Amino acid sequence: MARTAINICNEALAMIGTEPINAFTDEGKEAALCNLLYPSARDEVLTLYPWSCTIARADLQRLSETPVSGYEYAYAMPNDYLAGGIVETPETMLPFEIEGGKLLTNAIEITIKYQKQVTDPNKFSPLLASVIATRLAQMISMPITQSTKISSLIDSKFELVLLRAKGADAAGASQEPGVEPRWVDAQSVYDPLDYEEDE
């Protein structure tokens, strides 16, 4: 069965004890909030960790403009760029910056390994889809249920599901050979704290 954004939203709604929706255009607060917040929940979760389904490479196109910040060249970032990555170039020690959607450097050619935006839910592993659903549940819990107890439970669940998903994704990732990379435009990674479940 194909996974859809509605499936993920309904998983979130089930977590907070409300009825499922059939479409984002349904009547009611549930559909309206899911329609508004699902994209944000998805993209936020995708930036928390370099999920294997988001990793992409691209040879960047050099722009004709000359940067004003002291670098010789400006390169356009990929249209689907979501979060920081690794610059791969024979001249890995050359300085560079990502600024205003452009990569600035003195290197003549640039290849970047980065995180792309993924909107197709079928690309998500079951665990990653659950992380997105749980994050969405966090965002919609109080507006729908007005229950601090439910919100607290969802917060705890998110930490556990994220930790499990990161571990599973890391276990499935392969080590790739290549030139020594340099991390750029690094995103902070959320490291969940251990805690005990309520009985």
Task: Tell me the per-residue pLDDT of 152-169, one tens digit each, with 9 for 90 and over.
Answer: 999 999 999 999 999 999
Q: Does 127 lie in the same domain as 111?
A: no
Query: Which residues have CB under 8 Å from 74's CB, separation 6+?
Result: 62, 63, 65, 66, 67, 102, 103, 104
Number of domains in the chain: 2
What percent of the chain lies above the pLDDT cut of 70? 83
Could you give the angle at which helices 126-145 and 29-46 cross, rounded to 10 degrees? 140
Residue 105 belongs to what H/E stretch?
A: strand 102-105
Task: Check: CB of residue 50 under 8 Å from CB of residue 186.
Answer: no
Rounded distance between C-alpha atoms, residue 98 and residue 104, angstroms: 6
Does the pLDDT value for residue 151 go beyond 90? yes
Q: Does 132 lie in the same domain as 39?
A: yes
Query: Which residues have CB under 8 Å from 62's CB, separation 6+?
Result: 73, 74, 75, 110
Q: Does 165 lie in the same domain as 125?
A: yes
* Residue 199: predicted pLDDT: 37
Q: Does 154 lie in the same domain as 75?
A: no
73-76 and 102-105 strand pairing: antiparallel
Task: Check: CB of residue 130 under 8 Å from CB of residue 159.
Answer: no
Which of 36, 6, 5 minimizes the C-alpha distance to 22? 6
* Residue 48: predicted pLDDT: 95
Residue 141 resides in a domain: yes
Rounded distance between C-alpha atoms, residue 51 and residue 116, angstroms: 10
| Residue-range definition of the domain harbouring residue 18 | 5-51+119-172
Q: What is the mean pLDDT of the chain?
A: 85
61-62 and 73-76 strand pairing: antiparallel
Distance of alpha carbon 117 from its chain centroid, rounded?
A: 7
Residue 194 resides in a domain: no
Reading the block at residue 30, the tokens are 């549930």
Does the pLDDT value for residue 136 go beyond 60? yes
* Residue 182: predicted pLDDT: 42
Which of 179, 22, 185, 172 minimizes the C-alpha distance to 90? 179
* Residue 179: predicted pLDDT: 37
Which of 81, 76, 63 minimizes the C-alpha distance to 102? 76
Q: Does 78 lie in the same domain as 124?
A: no
Residue 196 resides in a domain: no
Q: Does 69 lie in the same domain as 157?
A: no
- pTM, rounded to two decimals: 0.81
Mean pLDDT of 77-86: 88
